[in-house]
Amino acid sequence: MKISKEIQKFLLQDAMERFLRYVKIWTTSDIKSASFPSTENQLELGKLLSKELKDLELEDILHDKFGYVYANLPPSEGFEKVKPIGLIAHLDTSQAVSGKDVKPVIHENYDGSEILFSQNEELSLNIADSPQLSEYIGLDIITSQGDTLLGADNKAGIAEIMAASAAWKKFPELNHGPITICFTPDEEIGRGTRKIKKNLLPKNCYTLDGSEMGQLEIECFDAWGASIKFKGLNVHPGYAKNLMINAIHIASRFLSELPEAESPEHTEERVGFYHLMNLEGNEEKATATLILRDFDLKNNQNRMKYLETLKTLYELRYPGLKIELNFLHQYHNMLTFLEKEEKAIKLAKKAIDLAGLEVKIHSIRGGTDGTKLSEKGIPTPNIFAGGLLFHSRKEYIPTLALQKAAEVIIYLAEQWTNE
């Protein structure tokens, strides 16, 4: 059935109210934490969502000690034999920018001009920053006040799933099969599926964690982490000639050898990169953390060989220097697992089309929980959540995207009833 204007209005209002509520809850994850979830604040959002799911009369609600929230929506009458699907979004926000005390701002009827931020006079958002803004003229845009990120990644996805659940309760004419909802912690630090209860998930899932309206993502980076430890020798600088091996200075030189053209700020589309995330230390020892990203595993293997070559050269150049180089494969390109999932992809495309949007097949310059789930045998394409400039103080989302993503969820569930 075609979603009525009444339902559209409900979805917009409900998703907006939820989104504005959720972003105010501080859920930044912490890659340095050894606990799970990495921050207790994520549990607070999980508690709220568990209560809201109960209010919506979902069943089998579980908020476990690791921070995961699970819930089941029983099928519409007569659709008990429909294959179940899962809807997934993550609770945490990136630690790249503060997510504490987010105060969302609604810029009504955006006119195409520069958007200013009340808590950061040096910051502005314009069409040069994000060309998609030109498509949102006349719409309402939500940003932070400029001193934090917004949190649309991924609280928009959570709000959209919850709004769809509320619509299924309020409008029984919206048919659907069995649906499992799962909200995960620590996705932003690559741990989103580490302790997930795979047995509670159906065989086909979707993450709501993409960017602009209409996007459907079935491919992502092949991802590696690299840790480089430099061990030097400190000597009083007044007497250091031919003796000191300055670890952090040498580390800086080593890292300057990385090709600038292969950095995130100089690449786009299908071009991979080296990304230095952290460098710390002193004369005696220093540690650098990098990530290597590409859609082609062979390109990443070449980057690792280059780092190994640099290691050999620098140990020869600086006698006594020791470099320890370790690589960790973080996730595979999900296309490896999704290219045969024609039905799941076809139905997602149809749902986006029914919502009145252009289907935009997009390769993720990153990863999602769906990447790991697909690797674990649960094919999980990624549907847009609607936000842009994620992990940034300039992050924003048009309110229409909250409505449209919720519409896509409803159409998607309906499409599965026809299979």
What is the domain-level CATH number for residue 91? 3.40.630.10
Amino acid letter at 63?
Answer: H
Does one domain contain both 213 and 227? no
Say if residue 210 is in the same domain as residue 236: no
| CA angle centred on 75, ends 74 and 76, rounded to 5° | 125
Element at 116 (helix H, strand E): strand 115-117
Residues 200, 86 share a domain: yes
Of the candidates 14, 52, 187, 212, the residue annotated as catalytic is 187
3-state helix, strand, coil in the chain (%, to 5): 35, 25, 40
pLDDT at 36: 96
Considering the domain architecture, whether residues 62 and 199 belong to the same structural domain is answered as yes
Same domain? For 69 and 164 the reply is yes
Q: What token pair was written down for 3?
A: 């979603």
Q: Which of 92, 153, 209, 219 is catalytic?
A: 92
pLDDT at 87: 98
Residues 308 and 353 in one domain: no
Q: Are residues 216 and 159 in the same domain?
A: yes
Which of 309, 331, 353 terminates a domain? The answer is 331
CATH code, domain carrying 243: 3.30.70.360
In 3D space, the residue among 148, 105, 152, 113 whose CA is nearest the CA of residue 129 turns out to be 113
Strands 205-210 and 85-90 turn out to be: parallel
- Measured CA to CA, the distance from residue 199 to residue 226 in angstroms comes to 32
Q: Which residue's structure tokens are 């460098």? A: 279
Which DSSP string corresponds to 93-114?
B-TTS--TT---EEETT--SS-
Closest C-alpha among 175, 173, 157, 210 to residue 362: 210
SS3 416: helix
Do 202 and 239 lie in one domain? The reply is no
Structural domain of 279: 222-331
Which residue's structure tokens are 């999602």?
A: 368
Q: Against a cut of 0.85, is the pTM above it?
A: yes
DSSP 74: P
* Domain match, 121 and 168 both: yes
* CA–CA dist 19, 16 (Å, integer): 5
Radius of gyration of the chain (CA): 23
How confident is the model at residue 366, as a pLDDT? 86
Q: Which residues contact 50 (CB under 8 A, 6 or more apart)?
A: 61, 63, 69, 71
Closest CA to 207 of 365, 28, 371: 371
Q: How many domains does the chain have?
A: 2
Same domain as 250, residue 169? no
- DSSP reduced 3-state for 311: helix
One domain for residues 132 and 186: yes
325 φ/ψ angles, rounded to the nearest 5 degrees: -120, 120
Q: Which residues of 317-330 are buried (b: 16+ CB within 10 A; e: fewer)?
A: ebeebebeeebeeb
- Active site (annotated) includes residue 187: yes
Q: Within this chain, do residues 292 and 372 fall inside the same structural domain, yes or no?
A: no
Token pair 């509520």 in the structure block, residue: 21
pLDDT of residue 123: 96
Question: 3-class DSSP state for residue 232?
Answer: coil
Active site residue 59: no
Could you say which of 287, 310, 331 is where a domain stops?
331
Across the 419 residues of the chain, what is the mean pLDDT of every consecutive 10-residue run?
A: 95 98 98 94 98 97 98 96 97 96 97 96 95 96 98 97 98 97 95 96 96 95 96 96 97 98 95 96 98 96 98 98 96 91 95 98 89 93 96 97 98 94
Angstrom distance (rounded) from CA 251 to CA 257: 10
How many C-beta atoms surround the C-beta of residue 112 within 10 A?
A: 12
- Report residue 366 CA to chain centroid gap: 8
Q: What is the pLDDT of residue 367?
A: 85
Tell me which of 308, 331, 354 is where a domain ends: 331
